[in-house]
Amino acid sequence: MKILVCISNVPDTTSKINFTADNKEFDKTGVQYVINPWDEYALTRAIELKEAKGGTVTVLNVGEADSEPNIRKALAIGADDAIRVNAYPKDSFFVAQQIAAVAKENSYDVILMGKESIDFNGSQVHNMVGELLGIPAVVPAFKLDLLDDSTARLEREIEGGKEVVEVKLPFIASAQQPMSEPRIPNMRGIMTARTKPLKVVEPTGADTKVDYVNYSKPEKKGGVKMIDPENAGELIKLLRNEAKVL
């Protein structure tokens, strides 16, 4: 079983988000980067499947050299090898084409991603890759089991319920809770990660379909109005008459 896990390198969930003075780029100053939290669910599920059935887990990141600490972290958690496509992830279509190119070359049985990246919030890359490769993308999945060597059973969330899906390999799935319990790398993992292969490849000459032209921050709230707990019912009146949301 060959599993590919696509990981995105994103600002830590507690980061303050700021932009450069011209509002054209994200300001990385002082920002810690982490593996996209949703991609960690994908990664740990991939490692669990490998532990149960044998095989390899490859992690793939489309990013510049500064993603390498988190690629190494994925290796420390238990992936076997890694590929970094050496390019700034300009837009989802660009990233999808890079992932599809790597997948075509190596024919993986399962490709796992996260539900969405917490910086772009696109929820796009998985279905784009699915379309580019002509294989199903089960999005967003919260349960994944292999029934045999050629079939997987997944549960995916739909608005207001869930769907049980059976797909033939190869397929793509995006992970969300509670697919797995993310792991923290142990000392041995960290040591062995240093010598695991991390291959850097150049991007295919792919195009982009959108341009990020400007960033801004949402308007600040006007401050909080406090209501006396003894008169809590007053809140309901304010919500109707002042805020007009009831």
Ligand X SMILES: Nc1ncnc2c1ncn2[C@@H]1O[C@H](COP(=O)(O)O)[C@@H](O)[C@H]1O
Ligand Y SMILES: Cc1cc2nc3c(=O)[nH]c(=O)nc-3n(C[C@H](O)[C@H](O)[C@H](O)COP(=O)(O)OP(=O)(O)OC[C@H]3O[C@@H](n4cnc5c(N)ncnc54)[C@H](O)[C@@H]3O)c2cc1C
Half-sphere exposure of 120 (CA within 13 A, CB side): 20
With CB under 8 A as the contact rule, the residue among 161, 184, 187, 202 that binds other proteins is 161
Single out the segment in contact with other proteins by CB under 8 A; choices: 45-53, 60-68, 77-85, 125-133.
125-133
Q: Nearer to other proteins by C-beta: 50 or 63?
A: 63
In degrees, rounded to 5, the angle at the alpha carbon of residue 182 between the alpha carbons of residues 36 and 32 is: 35
- The minimum distance between CB 15 and other proteins, in angstroms, equals 8
Q: Nearer to other proteins by C-beta: 113 or 198?
A: 113
Residues 152-191 as b/e (b if ≥16 CB within 10 A, e otherwise) read bebebeeeeeeeeeebebbbbbbbbeebbebeebeeebee
In degrees, rounded to 5, the angle at the alpha carbon of residue 85 between the alpha carbons of residues 80 and 90 is: 135
| Beta-ladder partners of 200 | 84
In degrees, rounded to 5, the angle at the alpha carbon of residue 210 between the alpha carbons of residues 206 and 212 is: 115
Looking only at residues 69 through 98 of this chain, which bind other proteins when binding is defined by CB under 8 A? Answer: 92-93, 96
With CB under 6 A as the contact rule, the residue among 13, 20, 107, 150 that binds ligand Y is 13
Half-sphere exposure of 245 (CA within 13 A, CB side): 5
Query: Which listed option, ligand Y, other proteins, ligand X, none, makes contact with residue 191 (CB within 5 to 8 Å by class)?
Result: none
Query: Cα separation of 48 and 45, whole Å?
Result: 5
Q: Nearer to other proteins by C-beta: 54 or 222?
A: 222
| Beta-ladder partners of 171 | 110
Looking only at residues 163 through 222 of this chain, which bind ligand Y when binding is defined by CB under 6 A? Answer: none
Q: What is the token pair recorded at 174?
A: 């995006």
Q: Nearer to ligand X by C-beta: 197 or 236?
A: 197
How many other β-carbons are positioned within 10 Å of the β-carbon of residue 16? 8
Q: Which amino acid is at 136?
A: P
Q: With binding defined as CB under 6 A, does residue 37 bind ligand Y?
A: yes
Query: Which listed option, ligand Y, ligand X, other proteins, none, makes contact with residue 200 (CB within 5 to 8 Å by class)?
Result: none
Query: Which listed option, ligand Y, other proteins, ligand X, none, makes contact with residue 30 (CB within 5 to 8 Å by class)?
Result: none
Residue with tokens 């496509």: 85
Site string for other proteins, 32-71 (x = CB under 8 A): -----xx---------------------------------
Q: Nearer to other proteins by C-beta: 187 or 232?
A: 232
Q: With binding defined as CB under 8 A, does residue 173 bind other proteins?
A: no
Looking only at residues 179 through 198 of this chain, which bind other proteins when binding is defined by CB under 8 A? Answer: none
Residues making contact with ligand Y (CB under 6 A): 13, 37
